[in-house]
Structure 1
Amino acid sequence: MKKRELGKSGLYVSEMGFGCMSLPNDLDESKKIIDAAIHAGINYFDTADLYDGGRNEELVGHALKGRRQDIILATKAGNKMNPDGNGWSWDASKAHITGAIKQSLLRLETDYIDLYQLHGGVMEDNVDETIDAFESLKKEGLIRQYGISSIRPIVIKRFLDKSSAISIMMQYSLLDRRPEEWFPMIQEAGASVVTRGTIAKGFLTAEGMTRAEQANGFVDYDATDLTRTVQELSEQSDDLHAAAIAYVLRDQTVASALIGARTIEQLLDSVIAYEKQAGDEEIIRLGNIARKNIYKEHRL
């Protein structure tokens, strides 16, 4: 599997990364899936302290024992669980972030994080304090690099302007092309995009039509538009799953396309799709079918 550099960080991540949120809540089963991902050449694993109240980090830490040096490990902070365990609140303060990483390190059974990400962000944040928290953790050696997971251009721009962030995680796929408008800005800042929602909840797979017919829409597609578009994409593609992954990787601003899997079979379906590498003509054809939507809120 090919690798790309995250920003200008010196960290090289597999073009297909693994989004750990979908792992089953079982130590043995989650380890088997991560084992299979590593065997397939995936070296980039992304989790968050919010996922299942920290349990997801525990699963990932257990699965990566003895192989920490071979992988790029990413997690996130900024969402503070309520004391009763029901729900969470937003907290981008330095006190919270520097406390949260200690708990993440314990759960992940490691002494450093390769990529630590702010898990959201609003314009009301004291961004200078938030960035200072990440820079302090970097100086301490607890993290190697940092980034932000956000779909708000105005928040992303401010974070990039004031920091040395090297990655932006964004929901991006053939059915959600909103990030494309901001690729030049991100690239100019020396950062990379990491995609989530790469196969759009499975709409861009062999099961796409079945899933679309059961959905009420997606992003700015209503139910009818979604079904029609998925059908047309399927008809115009040799393998929609393969084309969906190839589409998001066609721009070098994207360093890694995250996929999730609850089973080894689901993981292997995506690995096989990645390895098929859809051709340029097909990618262009599908891009002409899919709507070039834009963010309507949180604009610069």
Structure 2
Amino acid sequence: MAASRVRDDFQLAIVSLLGLTTLLTLSGFMLWRSLRGEWTLAAFDALVILAIAVVVGRAWRTGRTDAAGGLMALLNSGFCAVACVLIGDAASGWVYVVLMTNFYIARPHIAAWCGALLIVAATMLLIVPDASLGRLATAITWSLVYAFSFAFSRRLRDYSDSLERRAMLDPLTRLPNRGAMEAHLRSLVDDRRQPGIGLLVLDLDRFKAVNDTFGHAVGDAVLVELGTILRDTLREGDAVYRFGGEEFVLVLPADDDAGLLAAAERVRGEVERRLRSPAGPITVSVGGAMLAAEHDWQDWFGRADTSLYLAKRAGRNRTHIAQGLD
């Protein structure tokens, strides 16, 4: 479980890795200072260890890794500034480390503010009192590390966001794909504070005949047009996904089974009215289910998919809504 969470959540992996590195490093310093009788510095190390451990633990419990990363960046910067007071010039090396690592664990704007404040504090505490050429060079290198880390993190974040968006889009219809749908359904099942959520699964009727008769290029054009129609039917709070093949999914607010049935009929009728192929009009069958007592999204989706099968068996171009669970 822990290994899979780290593998699937890069932010959690980075927060955990840097947190663990900090804990191990400072534990060694704390032991060394305790043996030397430097109790104030040892107590400070213990405080940093405790604070970082709490943040990492919170990230694991809540899954809010962005918040944990931002808090860790703030703590790292604050503790580094305090270290400038306690150990003087020996803290200058830690300034470099904090300036760089903040951009890995926190969003760029948070890391930027924390880094800027740390540079100001460290400059006032370590450089200004004895502004020799060497000390000024240190302040300049802090600023360069900060600037390059900021630029690199922004570029990396933009590239990562671009890859994530592309990974979550169906290349043909430009609708969110199955991976995006699974993430959405999982979040809805986990968060029961949103009442009245319905799921509709749509499947084109006799689509294989279109592909076999007119070719896959025509079939793809039909899928693209269906995606456009479904996108046009969206209301505020609705979401549409291409599940795969000729199957699409709608997630939408609905008060009850009757409300979900009305939404399903509205979508089915709109497709029947607008969707065409060289063979003539194309229809869809629709199955639906309200979110009930399911503990995972597969159970919810399974109920809607079973309803789709029943709509197909009833003659196609039909809708069927699963009965609510007790």
Give the TM-score category using the shorter length.
under 0.3
| TM-score, length-scaled by structure 2 | 0.20
TM-score normalised by the chain length of structure 1? 0.21
Higher alpha-carbon Rg: 2
Between Structure 1 and Structure 2, the one with more strand by share is 1
Query: With CA pairs under 8 Å and 6+ residues apart, which has the higher RCO, 1 or 2?
Result: 1
Q: Going by fraction, where is helix more abundant, 1 or 2?
A: 2
